[in-house]
Amino acid sequence: MVATGSLSSKNPACISELLDHDFHPGSLLNDFDYWDYVVPEPNLNEVMFEETTCQSLAKMLENCLSKSKQTKLGCSKVLVPEKLTQRIAQDVLRLSSTEPCGLRGCVMHVNLEIENVCKKLDKIVCDSSVVPTFELTLVFKQENGSWTSFRDFFFSRGRFSSGLRRTLILSSGFRLVKKKLYSLIGTTVIEEC
């Protein structure tokens, strides 16, 4: 049965059928009162905390890319699509929500995939005082057509001299791989976004 706010707009034949089967309009209000108490209202403190955590995580990812651009990538600029780091941070929070220590138990390996070659950029430990319970491997992807000869450039000796004027453009796609460290089965979850 679908409950509606009022019975006045219903067909009179339907109303009489409900009354014949011992349905009382007052019980409908009792049902609404019941659901008002069952469905919890969102806790604003939790929402604000999650938003702050998401922003902090996005900033960590941006700092990782910034730090890596000259040391590991040998370029002067890394262009990141709008809201990419926020999307990744939201997915990381979602994947960590089922873990015993949440985000605090996460170790994240940040990589960049260019022409099917994966380069390690950094390792982010969310809370060094907590024993890690799971690992996430984040793989940023290069935008198609950006640095078509990157592999030759990257493995050449003069990567800093000739490459500092180059700009690396990241794709809006990424991959997150979750590996539980405490599970006997060794569950791995792969999400391609």
The pLDDT value recorded for residue 140 is 95
The reply to whether 89 falls in a domain is yes
Tally of domains in the chain: 1
**Is residue 47 classed exposed, middle or buried when 0-12, 13-18 and 19+ CB atoms within 10 A define those classes?**
exposed
List the domain range (segments joined by +) for residue 148.
Answer: 44-154+165-190
pLDDT band at 74 (very low <50, low <70, confident <90, very high): confident
Instruction: Report the largest interatomic distance among the alpha carbons of the chain, rounded to a whole angstrom.
Output: 88
20 belongs to a structural domain? no
Domain-embedded: residue 32: no
| pLDDT 10s digits, 95-147 | 998 888 999 999 999 999 988 889 999 999 989 999 999 999 999 999 876 54
Query: Other C-beta atoms within 10 Å of 116: how many?
Result: 6
35 located within any domain: no
Q: What is the mean pLDDT of residues 24-42?
A: 52
Determine, yes or no, domain membership for 82.
yes
What global pTM score does this model have?
A: 0.65
pLDDT of residue 83: 94
22, part of any domain: no
Q: What pLDDT is attached to residue 131? A: 92
Higher pLDDT, 159 or 94: 94
Does residue 56 carry a pLDDT above 60?
A: yes
Query: Could you tell me the CATH number of the domain that includes residue 125?
Result: 3.90.470.40
72 lies in some domain: yes
Quick check: is 13 in a domain? no
Angle at which helix 84-96 crosses helix 44-71, to 10 degrees, equals 120
Measured from the Cβ of residue 100, the count of other Cβ atoms closer than 10 Å reads 11
